[in-house]
Structure formats: C-alpha cells, structure tokens
Amino acid sequence: MTDLAYNITTVCIGKKYEPLKPDWLQRLEKMCKKMNIHIWSEIDSTILKYGLEEAWWDVVRLKRNLELLMKEKKPVMHLDMDMIVEKDLIDIVNLPYDFIISTEIGGPNAYPKECSNKLGFGICSGLYVIKPSAMKFMLTILKNMMSYTFNCYSDQVNIMNYIIKNPHQIVVEEVVLGEKTYKNNIVLIDGIKIGVLDFAMVIRDPILNNGQYANHINIDNVGGVVQFKKYFYADLETLPLTCRCGKKHLGDTTVCKHLAMRQLKNM
C-alpha cells in the first residue's frame, strides 16, 4: 500500500445512507488525491452500553478516528455522506491548524445557540480533520462525550461547550487558496489551534456554486436519498434549493429568501 497523505472516514450504520455509498466513494476518488477511505459500519460493543441516544454515532466515529490516527499518525478527515465534494480536500488538510472543522449555518444563532451566541459562530462536524498534534485535545472531547458531560453525545455540541467553558482566544486568519481569500476563525485553546473554516469553503444549504470545496446538503430537506443522489451528478443551480424554508412536514413555515438570491445572481 502506498503512503497516502491522509485518511478520509465516514460512518454508515443502518440502511438510510447505504444506497449513497457508491456515489459518495466515486466522487471522492475522482476529486481527491493522496487519500485513503475508511467507512465505519460496525457498532463497537463498548459503545452500546451507553445506549443509542441521539448522536451516539458521533462517539463511534470519533473513537474509530482516534484509533486510526494513533495507528497511522497522519491526518484523519471525517466527512458526512451528505457532503458533495467539489474540489480536492487536500487544501483543507494542509491548512496550518491542529484541528479543522467546518462552520454551521446560522452564524451567532447556529445550533447550539447558547454557545454560538458567545463564540459568534457555530461549528459543523460534517467535515473535520484531526492531526496528530490534536490527539490529546480530541481524547478529552471523546471522554466528555462518553461521560455525557454536556448532556449530549454530539461532537459539535461537546466541542463548542468545551471551548466556551475553558480559557481560549479567537482570532480571524486570512488564507488564499486558488484565487480566493478566505477568513477562518481560529480558536486558540489548550496549546492548539482550531481552524473553523470560512463558511464559503464548505457550504450548508448551498444556493450557488462559487468555488466551494464541498456542499453539505440535508437529505431530508431535499426529499430523501433518491432526490439527494441528483446533487452528485447535475449542476447545483439546475436543482431545487436545499434549504428547509417552508417545508411544513419538516416543521418549518418561514418564507424562502434563497430563490430570489439565486435568480439575482443568474441575471
């Protein structure tokens, strides 16, 4: 086996995401060089005793990712199966941060609000990268998740709560990739640098293609796996919007502003 620069992993347990596997794999192999892919599809029996409550899969994948990091000592990227990769993710891995994570939609009101209100942004664990230098920090996060310290198994909720409850500093750092300038939020904590990626790099509910590295699309928002598959193959701008606006069956009754934003750009 050749020595590849980093590992990309995902978790796929149960039937919902199974049909996406070939499309997701093919897309990654086409877009990304210098990486190896691992799919975690078994539930660790030590996890089962914690009960299968909301976001328990975050515990499964983080535990596996840290084991892989320990074994191979090269960066491990987690990537959700509802991420459509648009460019080689090696640029993200190469950023000079110990732990890298994408930004959640909603700015200072992103889930969970009580944390993003303080930070000014939320983080989204749909894409994260752990480097060997972040091992100790992430082991602390895993320990908190397993002991239900913040009443939740979710990795993003645990990381955000840990940050706001411990001494930290936030600075904005500009990086130029290709011809674009991105502004990442950097969290300095426990002697490491956490790079929270500019929302324009990895976009939740994308409206247009504007050079982003990945589009993070909620499968339920677009009507299920069959509809979602189209986003792998057709141009984003020819497909229905992926936001939740006005989808009463998903509990949203707001009026969508995104369609007008797309039409304006296309004029």
Instruction: By CB under 5 A, name the binding residues for Zn ion.
Output: 243, 245, 256, 258
Phi, psi of 214 (to 5 degrees): -155, 150
State the nearest-atom distance from the C-beta of 256 to Zn ion, in Å. 3
Comparison of 195 and 206: residue with beta carbon closer to Zn ion? 206
User: Which 8-state DSSP code applies to residue 64?
Assistant: H
Which residue number, 171 or 260, has a Cβ lying nearer to Zn ion? 260
Identity of the residue, 87 or 258, whose beta carbon is nearer to Zn ion in the bound complex: 258
Task: Output the smallest distance, CB 264 to Zn ion, in A.
Answer: 14
Exposure b/e, 98-127, CB count within 10 A at least 16 = b: bbbbbbbbeeeebbbeebbeebebbbbbbb
Nearer to Zn ion, 12 or 245 (CB): 245
Helix (H) or strand (E) holding 9: strand 6-11
Provide DSSP, 180-216.
EEEEEEEEEETTEEEEE--TTTEEES--S-SS-SEEE
Q: Which is nearer to Zn ion, 34 or 258 (CB)?
A: 258
Question: At closest approach, how far in Å is the CB of 258 from Zn ion?
Answer: 4
Q: Which of 127, 159, 156 is nearest to 55 (CA)?
A: 156
Nearer to Zn ion, 181 or 254 (CB): 254
* CB 251, min distance to Zn ion, A: 14
Least distance to Zn ion, CB of residue 107, Å: 16
CB of 156 to Zn ion, least distance (A): 22
201 CB burial (10 A radius; 0-12, 13-18, 19+): buried
Residue 82 tokens read as 């509802």
Report the alpha-carbon distance of residue 161 to residue 149 in Å, rounded: 10
